[in-house]
Amino acid sequence: MSTETISPRYADLDLWPTRDAVAAMLEGQLAAAAAVQAASDAIAAAADAAALRLRENGRLIYAGAGTSGRLAVLDGVELGPTYDWERTVYALAGGMGALLESVEGAEDDAAAGEAAIREAGATPADVVIGVAASGRTPFTLGAVRAAGAAGALTIGLASNAGSPLLAASDHPIALLTGPEVVAGSTRMKAGTAQKIALNTLSTAIMLRLGRIHAGLMVDMRLSNAKLQARAATIVARISGSDLPTAQAALAASAGSIKRAVLIALGIDERAIEKTEGNLREALRP
């Protein structure tokens, strides 16, 4: 596996000046971003397919172990406040306690991955995203295979070409980051590539689901003063109204940015229901 390869370039890394070692590590981070760029078409195709499945009542199910699993959970958790997305399930090797403490051996249990998907009750309406740098992690592979058998759409992210996870996924996303500066430490380049790819994939899905309008987060939860102020600015920007009008519209809409935009423009806020939440469609004459 390329992610486990020992690079001769770093054989004396411990003897390097710290400045040179840090420069090499940062070079690796830039290479990770380039690896994701090369997978942009695959990410876009996966996002389009996922959005089609999720329009009604489908769920995003993230599956992974270790660093990959933690990054997957982080991506899913952030969709709640950012896009008001609540239909998220996690299949993490070792359970959610593994977010804080390593659960050794959990990643080797393929049956546990399969069981996690069965317990989640995966259906053809769901999208399962499996993440594993090696592309061979038994837990993640078991989860993705079980999800495919249940009819769910499967997306696999791995850093080794031709790996079983990519082969088992409807939409394989190869993030070919190669050898690590510290051999086998996939929390570095591979982890960075996973974080970028997951951010991009989930954001593209939310875009296609109509939760982003004109580059703005129009389904954001107004959970604190900062976000309430940001929401008023968003409403004012889209509607062309002044800030007091936008704030009043937000109050009248119980904090719904999309509905507040319509209220500020004198449009029946129920128009958003007829367009399945698509604000651009609701604003058309």
pLDDT cut 90: percent of the chain above it: 89
- Mean pLDDT on 150-170: 97
Task: Taking residues 5-10, report their average pLDDT.
Answer: 85
- Does 4 have pLDDT greater than 80? no
CA distance 164 to 26: 30
Pair of tokens at residue 59:
């769920």
- Domain ranges (residues) in the chain: 2-208, 212-282
Choosing from 4, 27, 78, 180, the catalytic residue is 78
Q: What confidence tens digit (pLDDT) does each residue in 142-159 have? A: 999 999 999 999 999 999
CATH fold match for the domains 2-208 and 212-282: no
The residue that leads in pLDDT, 5 or 132, is 132
What CATH code would you report for 212-282? 1.10.8.1080
What average pLDDT does the segment 230-239 reach?
97
Rounded-to-integer distance, Cα 143 and Cα 73, Å: 15
Confidence band (pLDDT; 50, 70, 90) for 5?
Answer: confident
pTM, whole model, 2 decimals?
0.94
pLDDT tens for each residue of 174-184: 999 999 988 88
Active-site position among 107, 114, 180, 269 = 107
Active site residue 86: no
CATH number for the domain whose boundaries are 2-208: 3.40.50.10490
Give yes or no: 56 in active site: no
pLDDT in tens, 46-80: 999 999 999 989 999 999 999 999 999 999 999 99
The 3-state DSSP class for residue 185 equals coil
Burial 178-215 (b: 16+ CB within 10 A, else e): bbbbbebebbbbbbbbbbbbbebbbbbbbebbbbbbee
For residue 124, the model assigns a pLDDT of 97
Query: Which pLDDT value is given to residue 101?
Result: 87
Q: What is the mean pLDDT of residues 87-101?
A: 94
